[in-house]
């Protein structure tokens, strides 16, 4: 009897490669990916793309045989005092982009707070906003993926768990980012995996060193990616794994690697998958 190999769907943040979608696609396909995570195209964020450019992007992706794993929106990567209506408007644009590009997933965040303000002081405001975003997503049959970005409310496993259990919506799930956990002093697998696995639906692939918080290719930092991959395989995970290397520079809305460094990151992750007996599709 032939045993079916575990397979994950490989994707990646195209704008970490180049502003040009055709170059993004070429590099991802060279790494074996047939999906892309869309954060920006031609230098414009996904929630600011014109209808004409959104349709042009859709045509290019379809012509090149690329699916879209998620919309990597900037929603929630703002101060919590900004009115929720602002983020709801941006979410509606992200939902529209998701419908045009054929994905149900939209990456979001859980808000910054003013310097000197503790997370407990903004908790109620965060939960109100996350509930509103999740309700909008559920109404449109899309799924929000909360990323544990450093310095937002949900940057530690305990507060990520607080968000998903308090909001308690099928439209809000967890995007796992090991490097971000390392950068806030968390050992991802040892301290977060068991807590968050019931809600984990999407893997964002980057690693980081604990001593200097520097982002590294997968397996070269302290993100415990080998342990995480092994556990996810044993748990039956068969979702998206999206490369987000951040190997050249980072900025408020994301990071950049360039084609060569992105290739280094992709090959490093593929080696970890091969070691674990996980295939990609």
pLDDT, position 257: 73
* Helix, strand or coil, per DSSP, at residue 129: helix
Short-list 221, 226, 229, CA closest to 200: 229
Determine the pLDDT at residue 171.
98
In words, the CATH class of domain 7-280 is alpha beta
In Å, how far are 32, 51, 94, 102, 128 from 22, measured between CA atoms? 15, 19, 22, 18, 40
Name the packing angle between helices 51-63 and 84-101 (round to 10°): 40
Q: Report pLDDT for 250.
A: 52
- C-alpha distances (whole Å) from 160 to each of 51, 76, 111, 157 are 34, 14, 12, 5
- Residue range 156-193, pLDDT digits in tens: 999 999 999 999 999 999 999 999 999 999 999 999 99
pLDDT for the residue 4: 73
Domain boundaries, the chain: 7-280
Mean pLDDT for back-to-back runs of 10 residues, the chain (281 residues): 81 96 96 97 98 98 98 98 97 98 98 97 98 98 98 98 98 98 98 98 97 94 98 97 80 63 94 97 92
pLDDT at 252 (0 to 100): 44
Q: Which residue has the tokens 């939209």?
A: 106
Q: What is the pLDDT, as a whole number, of residue 251?
A: 40
pLDDT, position 3? 58
Taking the CA of residue 170 as centre, how many other CA atoms within 13 Å lie in the half-sphere pointing to its CB?
6
pLDDT of residue 1: 53
């Amino acid at each position: 009897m032939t045993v079916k190999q575990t397979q994950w769907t490989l994707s990646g943040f195209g704008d970490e490669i180049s502003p040009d979608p055709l170059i993004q696609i070429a590099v991802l396909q060279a790494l074996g990916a047939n999906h892309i995570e869309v954060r920006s195209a031609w230098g414009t964020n996904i929630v600011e793309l014109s209808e004409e450019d959104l349709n042009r992007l859709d045509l290019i992706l379809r012509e090149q045989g690329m699916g879209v794993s998620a919309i990597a929106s900037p929603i929630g990567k703002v101060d919590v005092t900004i009115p929720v209506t602002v983020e709801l408007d941006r979410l509606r644009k992200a939902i529209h982009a998701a419908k045009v590009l054929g994905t149900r997933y939209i990456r979001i965040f859980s808000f910054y707070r003013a310097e000197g303000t503790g997370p407990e002081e903004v908790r109620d405001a965060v939960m109100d906003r996350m509930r509103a975003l999740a309700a909008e997503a559920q109404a449109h049959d899309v799924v929000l993926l909360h990323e544990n970005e450093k310095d937002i409310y949900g940057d530690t496993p305990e507060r990520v768990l607080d968000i998903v259990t308090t909001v308690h919506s099928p439209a809000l799930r967890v995007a796992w980012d090991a490097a971000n956990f390392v950068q806030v002093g968390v050992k991802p697998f040892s301290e977060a995996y068991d807590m968050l696995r019931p809600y984990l639906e999407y893997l964002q692939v980057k690693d980081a060193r604990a001593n200097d918080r520097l982002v590294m290719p997968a397996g070269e930092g302290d993100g415990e990616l080998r342990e995480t991959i092994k556990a996810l395989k044993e748990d039956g995970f068969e979702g998206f794994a999206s490369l987000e290397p951040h190997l050249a520079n980072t900025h408020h809305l994301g990071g950049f690697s360039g084609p060569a460094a992105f290739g280094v990151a992709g090959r490093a992750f593929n080696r970890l998958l091969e070691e674990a007996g996980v295939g990609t599709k």
